[in-house]
A and B are shown apart, each in its own frame.
Chain A
């Protein structure tokens, strides 16, 4: 191979660095950003108002009752945490498999994970009657000389979500440090130099640093994959450990984990389309990425469909009277809209992804992602409400309708999701420049050999 061919990617390195670091330093389209940020901030304001109303009045302002004492709070918790899982899966699993195409997606997928886990973690806390005492879940020597109940799934929740949040944060942060250093080196304004200088920790790309960084990054990835599985299995055990018809199924852990990955990939696809357009990243996020995301979405979607089928099959095969009644309630009961809504929104548009034109079309992929995100929300709602509203005794039959303040909190929570994410898009390198350059270098080496 001639020298020119090798010189070309060296030119590409500078180009890639420039293209990625220009976004935080000189944001391309501030007006669109400010409009989104304004919208997100008003949603955040709504969050604070609805939390204020909740704290002032108690959980009574929600539509929760007996028998449906878990309403939107817990279905949204499961929904948000599910969305969060895709970021870690994309980033960690594909890192271990050395899939180079992940490099264009992993950074913002991880940021999405962080904010989604934050939203998810807030829900169970707000759902506690006395949320300001949530730290009672932590084992600390207290004046009451009692300890948390470690055999209770609520305590498992505390450890699982906290661990997941800390591990995702650290994984994301050490991944971003080399790019923060690159941004620091390009920054012209003093304030930016100080900001990126502090957060890049004095990174200077020493071979010794890279060596240990890689070891630590890969090991964290290797540990994060089983962590994802454990966290969502834990949530499904929260359901499956309760003696409620419709929740007692052995398929729950894998079904929940796959459903989580499914909804998360849908949101990653939407964010990839939106960011590519907003930040003009046309040559870093390509139709090939959309194609692969579409395939992932289709695969996890079909696996989730298997979960739906297995759940029905389980009930019909076992023939338990109450289980059967719950199945009938799901299919034709008062909340059948949530079941059929989930089936339609999750699986009908998804079938388009068998065709490569649909996978490669940003608009179609965005719409399918949106449909899946909504469909998975229906599914979480269906799982909760259709099981709880009619269990064993006629005396414990009752309906459930989310109240205004539940919907307001949900809308507000979207603000909690969007505000930090938009700040991330505006101020941090959204794509991993160092890893793209590394992939280019390695591909070049392979081409030379």
Chain B
């Protein structure tokens, strides 16, 4: 899901909660109310939050698998190719020796799987990113400490500054803030 770009009038509305359970509850209620372009922020991985957001993305595991398969193929293929390209006859031992090739095949499988997994995670998360409009909200630094946030993006079809704010107020948050676009480049 793309986050709102600078062409929209505001980035979204941000509600702050003091308990993880309340955040999950609020996400569920926001979805039930028809909001679709929303995101939640927490200082740690909260079990049940992805389900509440109805966020199902398994591209990272698939990428890991693809990386592993590719790595194993590259590892084994490299050894076969180089041994055929420059044959070294050592006491008449077989040129292509699967037993001797397996270790490097395994190592490259692991290496590629991990590089794909972590690289894929960063790319899909649009990280690294130097700046984000949320960082200009005063209370947002608590998202890495002990507070929980729900944002409704301005690109949501149901987004309306006053009405959405009224809806968020009903969820009993600590406060609701308007997230503006900031001067810094996206």
Contact = CB atoms under 8 A, between A and B. Distances in A.
Contact of B121 (A206, A216, A434): A216
Interface in A129-162: 139, 145-151, 155-156, 159-160
A201 B49 contact: no
Contact of B49 (A11, A207, A213): A207
B55 A156 contact: no
B45 A434 contact: yes
Nearest to A230: B106
Contacts, number: 203
Interface string B96-135: 0100110110111011011101101110110111111011
Contact of B43 (A186, A214, A220, A437): A437
Contacts of A226: 106, 110
Q: What band does the interface of chain B fall in when counting residues whose beta carbon is under 8 Å from A?
A: 35 or more
A215 interface: yes
Given A17-B43, A150-B79, A220 B103 contact: no
B90 interface: yes
A6 B146 contact: no
Q: Is the interface of B mostly helix, strand, loop or mixed?
A: helix
Interface string B19-61: 1110000000000000000011111111101100101011111
B113 A223 contact: yes
Interface residues of A, number: 66
B94 to A, nearest CB: 9
Contacts of A11: 146
Contacts of B40: 206-207
A147 B82 contact: yes
A163 interface: yes
Interface stretch (B4-12, B137-145, B165-173): B137-145
Interface string A144-185: 011111110001100110010011001100100010011011
Contact of B55 (A139, A211, A223, A434): A211
A121 to B, nearest CB: 14
A208 B27 CA distance: 13
Given A147-B82, A156-B104, A209 B127 contact: yes
A317 B133 CA distance: 72
Given A209-B127, A216-B118, 18 more contacts: A151-B83, A151-B97, A155-B104, A156-B107, A159-B108, A166-B114, A170-B115, A205-B143, A207-B42, A208-B53, A210-B50, A211-B57, A212-B59, A215-B58, A215-B121, A224-B114, A226-B106, A442-B47
15 contacts: A14-B145, A170-B115, A184-B144, A185-B144, A185-B145, A204-B132, A204-B134, A205-B41, A207-B39, A207-B49, A208-B125, A212-B125, A220-B117, A223-B113, A441-B20
